[in-house]
Amino acid sequence: MAGGQDGMTGGDGSDELERHFLDAAARLAPPQPPPPREPAAEGLAGPDLLALFDAQAASRHLDYAARRLQRRGAGFYTIGSAGHESNAAVAAACRPTDPALLHYRSGAFYLRRAAQVPGHDGVRDVLLGLAAAAAEPISGGRHKVFGHADLAVIPQTSTIASHLPRAVGVAFAIGRARKLGVASPWPADAIAVCGFGDASANHSTAAGAINTARLCAYQGLPLPLLLVCEDNGLGISVRTPAGWIAAAHGERSSPAYFTAEGSDTAAALRAARAAADWVRERRAPAFLHLRTVRFLGHAGSDAELSYRTPAEIAADFARDPLLGTARLLVAHGLLGPAEVVERYRAAGERVWAAEQEVAGAPRLRSAAQVMAPIAPRRPAAVAAAAARAPGPKARRAAFGGRLPEAEGPLTLAQGVNRTLADLFAARPELLLFGEDVAAKGGVYGVTRGLARAFGAARVFDSPLDEQSVLGLALGAGVSGLLPVPEIQYLAYLHNAADQLRGEAATLSFFSQGQYRNPMVLRIAGYGYQRGFGGHFHNDNAVAALRDIPGVVIASPSRSADAAAMLRTCVAAAAVDGTVSVFLEPIALYHTRDLHTEGDGGWTDPYRAPGEWAEAHVPIGRARGYDPHPEAAERPGITLVSFANGVPMSLRTARTLAASGVRAQVLDLRWLAPLPVDDLLRAAEATGRVLVVDETRRTGGVSEGVLAALADAGYTGRAARVCSADSFIPLGDAAYHVLLSERTVEEAARRLLDAAPAPAAHRAAR
């Protein structure tokens, strides 16, 4: 019941491909005289070569199954691996403990890897993924991916090379974890394997990742990374110029370049083994260029004849990698032509039987099921981890004998710095890296002294490439380390936002939490920076962050909150694998005063470790200020804000108090998830809410705050005051578009002059 003979392929070109393989395999000429039945074939024992063919044949039949399932309405993914089955040679050349981030046409690699680990059925894994079955072992039916924690295959969902920065990070982390004595899921002599296509190789993400790999190799840093470019000459319908991959990568000294024709199985095996051995022995990157073909179009919906001629398509049949392996089997006397056909058909029978079993498998049945892996929260465990402190000796060493709790009140920047030092002393797996963070200590001195205290293996400067910064963090996070990367300015994050959106945020979702991205991404941002302005150093755009499912956004405004919230974010990363973005307001880094010069109203004493549990700030909890509680009978208003807006709101509250108005202030502190319960309580307390939002009117935080109030059934008065929908210019011109205390006060008075708060709110006061 295999192949076109039994109606198992369709009218999408698969009939022709199937017939060509069967006819060509049947005509293979056995050698004369026959060689011994069990020779060493190109360095592989006969059983290994047979296993290679089995993986390739099953992968081909899985592509046919994907189309059959789709035609029946029982399958949902038809991007196949047909023509790329030479990647099974890469799996054969590597170890099943080598972490692999695969190309989406790596079906044969996955099946060969699964066969290397007893008890795993790669065919069933793939079919469950095609059917979006809840029992699929890596994503649970959320996406068709190649992945399995037991097989060291990290699931990838991108088709545009966004996994390459992470692959660089994994390779870097293998050696760094060993150097730091941190437990890692990868053996110390493992190599990272990363597959991608020729079209993806042109993407800026791939170019940046490969450049970072070259830079590491140039500096002599261990980076055991095997890059595998599966070059079929097409990106959907767009042709890659002939010879381009070889010209772009073959003439470089690094990564070391290896190449082979995929249809020549012996050559593919030799090249894959040579490249893998080179990486493993030298701990340096290599680039394996496999020249492949692509059968059956880009996917089931791709009308390949609209951009390729029938003659071109037919000519590719001669480069079928399954035929290449069949020739090798026959040439070495391992199988006769009829036995090749029989073995191929047997693979089809196995796929067909498994297909019937999974076609009706249950799928995810509720939003709760779908969303379960996005953002697990164990607040009690996080609170306990946030209170974890280094021992007294380690703290004295970290701070040079002068503990921060003895320093007196600290600014925001100082609070972050001292907290990072405490975290480093308590957690040997912590890494901090980014542009200028080491010797310079950051543009604003926030990381000053950390490299000296904890060494270059844990605090180091990165290349000037935000995608590589985040990719390194993504790789470190899945390798047993806890990364705290820094993006120098919020505006620079947008160069690399997909590393958060498409890689960090999705990994737990598409692996059901089997793989996690623990990370605390520190970013200096917002406006109001004096003397060093302009859009790229005063960016207030956070909309790109707020809609990423599961990502926590912390936005402290003062030192005490920054210290507690940073401990929380690191603890959540360690406990739940949380991805946090820690937004630090540049203009408040070194601010000391609140109302008058010298009042020290915006500094805080540093809490000693014995007070950390009491000072813990859970994710999604706001901070309230009630500057004049004695004025409970006065007209009231709640100013809801964050970051720079908090001291602005407190000063406005003081001005309003002078005219007989009791103004409370709520610092949201967390922009995702919003502290909805605290927000509603603060709103109900006065019946009037003014959202003081320094971000832009369109896409700003206030949109989410007002929506949260409406969703919660709040019936009081509400308004917002925001910065303009503008980029931030240089100099004083910035204050024409940024929120100001004057506009906050004016908006507050307009809200107070409106109709009185409903009776229910007056009674609540």
Q: What is the mean pLDDT of residues 362-390?
A: 95
Element spanning 468, H or E:
helix 466-477
DSSP calls for 585-649: EGGGTT---SSSTT--TT-BPPPPGGGTTTT---TT--EEE-S-GGGTTS-EEEEEE-TTHHHHH
Lookup: tokens for 667:
């610092």
Q: Tally helices (H) and strands (E) across the chain.
A: 28, 21
Q: What is the mean pLDDT of residues 713-735?
A: 91
The pLDDT score that the predictor gives to residue 762 is: 44
pTM attached to this predicted model: 0.94
| Percentage with pLDDT > 70 across the chain | 94
Q: What is the pLDDT of residues 276-306, one digit of tens each?
A: 999 999 999 999 999 999 999 998 888 888 9
Active site residues: 537
Instruction: Identify the CA nearest to 515 among candidates 148, 15, 39, 141.
Output: 148
Phi, psi of 260 (to 5 degrees): -160, 155
Q: What is the pLDDT of residues 455-510, one digit of tens each?
A: 999 999 999 999 999 999 999 999 999 999 999 999 999 989 999 999 999 999 99
Q: What is the mean pLDDT of residues 541-555?
A: 94
Contacts of 555 (CB under 8 A, 6+ apart): 583, 585, 642, 643, 668, 669, 670, 671
Q: How far apart are CA 514 and CA 121, in angstroms?
A: 18
Q: What is the pLDDT of residues 79-107, one digit of tens each?
A: 999 999 999 999 999 999 999 999 999 99
The pLDDT score that the predictor gives to residue 7 is: 44
Lookup: tokens for 231:
């070059």
What distance, in Å, lies between the first and last C-alpha atoms of the chain? 78
Phi, psi of 256 (to 5 degrees): -60, 135
Mark residue 181 as left, alpha or beta (left: phi above 0; alpha: psi -120 to 50; beta: remaining): left
Q: What is the pLDDT of residues 14-32, one digit of tens each?
A: 889 999 999 999 999 887 7
The pLDDT score that the predictor gives to residue 529 is: 85
Q: Where are the beta strands (DSSP E) in 507-566?
A: 519-525, 552-554
Q: Are 293 and 230 in contact (CB under 8 A)?
A: no
Lookup: tokens for 111:
């099946």
Q: Residue by residue, what is the 3-state secondary structure of 195-255? A: EEECCHHHCHHHHHHHHHHHHHHHCCCCCCEEEEEEECCEECCEECCCCHHHHHHCCCCCC
Q: Using the 8-state DSSP alphabet, how is residue 478 labeled?
A: T
Phi, psi of 534 (to 5 degrees): 90, 165
Question: Which residue carries 């100099």 as its tokens?
Answer: 731
The pLDDT score that the predictor gives to residue 504 is: 93
Using alpha carbons, list the distances in angstroms from residue 220 to 282, 283, 285, 483, 723: 10, 9, 11, 22, 48
Mean pLDDT rounded to a whole number for the chain? 92
Instruction: Identify the CA nearest to 399 among candidates 452, 468, 440, 348.
Output: 452
The pLDDT score that the predictor gives to residue 39 is: 53
R_g over Cα of the chain: 30
Residue 115 has pLDDT above 50, yes or no: yes
Q: Are 154 and 459 in contact (CB under 8 A)?
A: no
Lookup: tokens for 644:
């720079």
Question: Which residue carries 């170890």 as its tokens?
Answer: 95
Q: Are 685 and 715 in contact (CB under 8 A)?
A: no
Give the three-state DSSP class for 149.
helix
The pLDDT score that the predictor gives to residue 468 is: 95
The vertex-521 CA angle with 518 and 527, nearest 5°, equals 160
Phi, psi of 381 (to 5 degrees): -65, -35
Using alpha carbons, list the distances in angstroms from residue 214 to 103, 334, 460, 466, 495: 21, 42, 17, 16, 21
- The string over 304-324, giving b where at least 16 C-beta atoms fall within 10 Å of a residue's C-beta and e elsewhere, is beeebeeeebeebbebbbbbb
Q: Are 81 and 106 in contact (CB under 8 A)?
A: yes
Q: How far apart are CA 203 and CA 196, in angstroms?
A: 11
Q: Are strands 234-235 and 238-239 parallel, antiparallel or unpaired?
A: antiparallel
Q: How far apart are CA 374 and CA 551, in angstroms?
A: 9
Contacts of 518 (CB under 8 A, 6+ apart): 477, 482, 483, 573, 574, 577, 578, 579
Burial class (CB in 10 A: 0-12, 13-18, 19+), 20: middle
Residue 533 has pLDDT above 80, yes or no: no
Contacts of 136 (CB under 8 A, 6+ apart): 125, 128, 129
Residue 763 has pLDDT above 70, yes or no: no
Q: How many CB atoms lie within 10 A of CB 400?
A: 11
Residue 399 has pLDDT above 60, yes or no: yes
The pLDDT score that the predictor gives to residue 158 is: 63
Lookup: tokens for 365:
């049945």
Q: Are 80 and 14 in contact (CB under 8 A)?
A: no
Q: Are 443 and 524 in contact (CB under 8 A)?
A: yes
State the Cα torsion 667-673-678-682 to the nearest 10°.
Answer: 60
Contacts of 557 (CB under 8 A, 6+ apart): 412, 585, 588, 642, 643, 644, 645, 646, 647, 667, 669
Contacts of 418 (CB under 8 A, 6+ apart): 399, 404, 407, 410, 563, 606
Q: What is the mean pLDDT of residues 37-44?
A: 58
Q: Using the 8-state DSSP alphabet, how is residue 307 labeled?
A: T
Instruction: Identify the CA nearest to 144 among candidates 159, 123, 124, 126.
Output: 126
Question: Which residue carries 């003062």 as its tokens?
Answer: 558
Residue 566 has pLDDT above 60, yes or no: yes
Q: What is the mean pLDDT of residues 694-712?
A: 96
Q: In terms of pLDDT, which residue wins out, 531 or 709?
A: 709
Q: What is the pLDDT of residues 141-183, one digit of tens each?
A: 999 999 999 999 999 876 689 999 999 999 999 999 999 999 9
